[in-house]
Amino acid sequence: MPKRFANLDGSTNAKSFSQLRQWQKERRSKKKDFTFVVPRVSPSTELLANNSGQSSVTFIGHSTFMVQLGGLNIVTDPVWATRMGLGARLTAPGVPLEQMPPIDVVVLSHAHYDHLHLGSLRRLSGDFVMLVPEGLGAWMKRKGFSRVEEFSWWQTKQIGEVDFSFVPAKHWTRRTPWDMNTSHWGGWIMQHEQNCLYFAGDSGYDEGLFKEIGSRFDSIDVALMPIGAYEPEWFMRDSHMSPEEAVQSFLDVRASIFVPMHYDAFHLADDTPKEALDRLLAEWKRRELSPESLWTMELGRTQLWKD
């Protein structure tokens, strides 16, 4: 029997058929406006191709970012897919796949289809090493990827001059009816000298979890935080944060800059991109947080930090 993974609190996020049926019943009664267009800019492809010394983050879409840190080109959860299940992608990726420079490292948060897209991985250029959660390594190798390294929670490894640490999240995973939670899930801390970025992956809110990350990594500069796929909250809260919970998680990890993600590309739940952004901005203002600490990045935007 394969090993089955769980969250720090022992939960597995398994849902009953009646809960799923109730959600689908609620969904049919809702009318949502998806006409809002997420802002985008022309990507700085020349900078991405030639930058070897400045720390940067580029928003490609959903949970896919290109991070340049310590001379490495790093991609998080690479998904350039035009569809997810029966639904078309809401917004095109901010950087076309063919315009991406060679990649050194890919980090995967978990195996859900909107975070692990084999077609995108196979088309990425570069002889990259893939860092994956425990339980996923053998599967990736069977799919033809030879440079794969598995991580357990809190495990750290240095690649080049960058330390990569796999940290907990509150979530679950499945790709078939038979493999629920047979691999783990989590986020990634990437550190080079005094520069530190946190990619949260997918997660429900857990105060103890995020405070523990903040205590272990006390100088996080940029936090990439999910704000979408939260409605209905009674069904989603164990695996996806609301925008308000994402702000609290950002405060718990004591990061300096908040970058929202996981709201723009796919219709995974009942919330819309505009609803997620509006709630995020309202909560930011309610808490009287600094506007300079919130980077609502346009698709394709490259932002430097500590340059």
- Decide which of 72 and 17 is more confident: 72
Buried b (16+ CB within 10 A) or exposed e, 63-87: bbbbbbbbebbbbbbbbbbeebeee
What percentage of the chain carries pLDDT values higher than 90?
Answer: 90
Domains in the chain with CATH codes? 46-301 (3.60.15.10)
In degrees and rounded to multiples of 5, residue 224 shows phi and psi of -90, 110
Nearest to residue 32, comparing CAs of 204, 232, 299?
Answer: 232
Q: Can you give the pTM of this predicted structure?
A: 0.97
In degrees and rounded to multiples of 5, residue 90 shows phi and psi of -75, -35
Structure tokens at 177: 């009816």
Reported as a pLDDT band with limits 50, 70 and 90, residue 59 is very high
SS (H, E, C) the chain: CCCCCCCCCCCCCCCCHHHHHHHHHHHHCCCCCCCCCCCECCCCHHHHHHCCCCCEEEEEECCEEEEEECCEEEEECCCCCCEECCEECCCCCCCCHHHCCCCCEEECCCCCCCCCCHHHHHHCCCCCEEEEECCCHHHHHHCCCCCEEEECCCCEEEECCEEEEEECCCCCCCCCCCCCCCCCCCEEEEEECCEEEEECCCCCCCHHHHHHHHHHCCCCCEEEEECCCCCCHHHHCCCCCCHHHHHHHHHHHCCCEEEEECCCCCCCCCCCHHHHHHHHHHHHHHCCCCHHHECCCCECCEEECCC
- What distance in Å separates the CA atoms of residue 35 and residue 277, rounded to the nearest whole number? 14
Reported as a pLDDT band with limits 50, 70 and 90, residue 307 is low
pLDDT of residue 171: 98
pLDDT of residue 260: 98
Average pLDDT, the chain: 95
Q: What is the pLDDT of residues 7-29, one digit of tens each?
A: 999 999 999 889 989 999 888 88
Q: What is the mean pLDDT of residues 104-124?
A: 97
Q: What is the pLDDT of residues 255-276, one digit of tens each?
A: 999 999 999 999 999 999 999 9
